[in-house]
């Protein structure tokens, strides 16, 4: 067997690559193990099925393909997909028709709502036929733009924090004493003057001063009104620092997803046990969060194929993820999740295009 004697670790010759590619592309659409005869029938390979069989055996020896059982055709391994993504996948530019379609969908809501990321997830799901994922653009180190205090009840106050990038956070504060809205407005105004533009660290640096003022005031050296004002300010500043610190620490606020049913309908998940695993994978927000954090600053598209994912639930799915936004300012992530038998080329093209669109939106909005 001459073919067998070729060093399996060596680079693949063009014909082997063509056949690997054919197997993958055939399997991606058919979801059925592909045999040598099917390949010669459907692709212009110029060789007989026997030759193809020999090459398939080599590709299997190289770990790029595998066999469900002796008398079945070949299916790609995760390594095979990886090789395909690295070396064989077609141009990753999305066809103009699809670009137009996506742009059209985005045009509908442009500036009408703050929910582009949801739209991005929906669009990715419908265009790729997998599950679409997206996170909101999250500031790297949030800065205060504006603080509001609203009395919900005598002693319960809602702190509303608008960050420079437009994100809003709300927190509850319970006080020792009743306050009215005027007191709150006054306190908020003072804090706005002093803290606008500050980061969590900068606010934290000022906390001791606020606390000291509150203590001094409570000594009775000031009137009761001033004392209460100082105490309120200290209390709010404290909560504010904590809220911003928490916000900064959270890698990803929330992962929006759409089209999970697309993935669940894939034939590889016909058995309910696998289906359940996929579902819990889709719900595995903490792992997704980790990945998103990992790639957020990278500026390029990342592909995670099957067992390349650490959690067991994720071993049968692949992820194509791309960051968007302005590194150092605000970044988010968009992507798709599907079976390892995924149309990688198209998915990469789509994710790339959508992340580009999201870049435009972020630039336009937070210029």
Partner DNA sequence: GTTAGCACTCTCCACCATAGAGTGCTAACA
Partner DNA sequence: TGTTAGCACTCTATGGTGGAGAGTGCTAAC
Contact footprint for a copy of itself (CB under 8 A): 111-114, 145-146, 148, 150, 152-154, 156, 158, 160, 162, 166, 168, 170-172, 174, 260-261, 264-265, 269-272, 275-276, 279-280, 283, 364-367
70-89 binders of DNA (CB under 7 A): 70-74
Q: Does 104 bind DNA (CB under 7 A)?
A: no
Instruction: Please list every residue from 326 through 345 that binds DNA, using CB under 7 A.
Output: none
With contacts defined by CB under 7 A, name the span among 49-57, 245-253, 269-277, 333-341 that binds DNA. Answer: 49-57
Q: Which does 3 bind (CB under 5 to 8 A by kind): DNA, a copy of itself, none?
A: DNA
The binder of 43, among a copy of itself, DNA, none, by C-beta within 5 to 8 A per type, is none
Residue 2 C-beta: closest distance to DNA, Å: 3
Strand partners, 148: 160
Interaction between residue 268 and DNA (CB under 7 A): no
118 binds, among a copy of itself, DNA, none (CB under 5 to 8 A by kind): none
Q: Is 47 in the site for DNA (CB under 7 A)?
A: yes
With CB under 5 to 8 Å by kind, the binding choice for 260 among a copy of itself, DNA, none is a copy of itself
Residue 310 binding result from a copy of itself, DNA, none, given CB thresholds of 5 to 8 Å by partner type: none
Tokens of 215: 């203590």
Whole-number Å distance between alpha carbons of 51 and 61: 15
Instruction: Report the interface residues with DNA, using CB under 7 A.
Output: 1-3, 33-38, 46-51, 53-54, 56-57, 60, 67-74
């Amino acid at each position: 067997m001459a073919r067998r004697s070729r060093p399996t670790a060596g680079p693949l010759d063009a014909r082997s690559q063509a056949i690997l590619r054919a197997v993958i592309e055939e399997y991606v659409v058919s979801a059925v193990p592909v045999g040598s005869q099917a390949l010669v029938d459907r692709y212009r390979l110029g060789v007989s099925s026997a030759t193809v069989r020999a090459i398939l055996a080599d590709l299997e020896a190289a770990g790029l393909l595998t066999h469900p059982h002796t008398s079945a055709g070949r299916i790609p391994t995760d390594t095979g997909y990886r090789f395909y993504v690295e070396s064989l996948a077609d141009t990753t530019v999305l066809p103009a028709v699809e670009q137009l379609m996506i742009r059209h969908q985005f045009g509908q809501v442009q500036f009408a709502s703050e929910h582009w990321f949801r739209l991005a997830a929906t669009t990715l799901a419908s265009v790729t036929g997998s599950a679409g994922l997206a996170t909101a653009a999250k500031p790297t180190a949030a800065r205060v733009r504006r603080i509001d205090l609203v009395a919900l009840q005598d002693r319960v106050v809602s702190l509303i924090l608008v960050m420079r990038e437009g994100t809003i956070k709300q927190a509850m504060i319970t006080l020792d004493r009743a306050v009215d809205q005027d007191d709150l407005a006054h306190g908020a105004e003072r804090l706005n003057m002093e803290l606008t533009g500050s980061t969590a660290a900068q606010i934290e640096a000022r906390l001791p001063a606020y606390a000291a003022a509150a203590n001094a005031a409570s000594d009775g050296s000031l009137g009761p009104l001033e004392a209460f004002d100082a105490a309120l300010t200290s209390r709010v500043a404290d909560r504010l620092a904590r809220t911003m610190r928490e916000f900064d620490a959270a890698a990803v606020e929330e992962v929006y997803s759409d089209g999970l049913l697309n993935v669940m309908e894939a034939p590889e998940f016909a058995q309910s046990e696998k289906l359940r695993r996929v579902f819990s994978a889709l719900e595995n927000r903490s792992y997704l969060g980790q990945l998103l954090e990992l790639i957020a600053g990278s500026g390029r598209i990342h592909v995670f194929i099957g067992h390349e994912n650490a959690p067991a639930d994720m071993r049968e799915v692949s992820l194509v993820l791309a960051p968007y936004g302005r590194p150092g300012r605000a970044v988010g992530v968009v992507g798709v999740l599907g079976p390892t038998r995924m149309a990688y080329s198209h998915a990469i093209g789509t994710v790339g295009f959508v992340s580009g669109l999201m870049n435009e939106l972020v630039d336009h909005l937070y210029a």
